Amino acid sequence: MTLPLTTADERTQLLANGEARAAGQHIDPLPLVRLFTPDAHAIWLLAALDPADGNTAWGLIDLGIGMPALGTVKLSDLAGIVGPQQRPVLRDVYFRASRPLSEYVWLAQRDGSIPD
C-alpha cells in the first residue's frame, strides 16, 4: 500500500499558500511536503497548491540532473510516475522544513541538488 502524496493537513496548508500566491502576495513559506523517487534521485519540495485546480503544486523541483529550480508539477502526474525499479513517488513522512523555500532554492542551486 502506498501512502497518499499529501495528508489532509498538508493539503489544507498547501492550498492556503496557493491562495496567497494567487492573490499576488509575495510569500516565502516553509516547504510542507517532500516527495521523492526512491530509485531515481528526483525530489520535490512543495510549498503551495493552486486553489483553482487543487492539483498543480509549486515548489522546488530536483530531477536529479544537477539543475534544481522552482516550478510547478501536477500531483496527479507524480502519482503515476515510477522509477527504473518500478517504485512509485513517495512522501517523506519524516520531513520537517528547517528553512524557508528561498533558502532551499539558494542551497540547491549552489550545490546542484536539494539539501537534506
Look at the chain and count its residues.
Answer: 116
- Report whether pLDDT(56) > 60: yes
DSSP state of 110: H
CA of residue 54 relative to chain centroid, distance? 14
Q: What pLDDT digit, counting tens, does each position of 17-51 carry? A: 999 999 999 999 999 999 999 988 899 999 999 99
Q: Please compute the mean of the pLDDT values over residues 75-80 and round it to a whole number.
A: 94
Which position has the grid cell 492556503?
16
Domain ranges of the chain: 8-111
pTM: 0.93
Nearest in space to 41 (alpha carbons), one of 81, 3, 74: 81
- In this prediction, residue 84 has a pLDDT band, given cuts at 50, 70 and 90, of confident
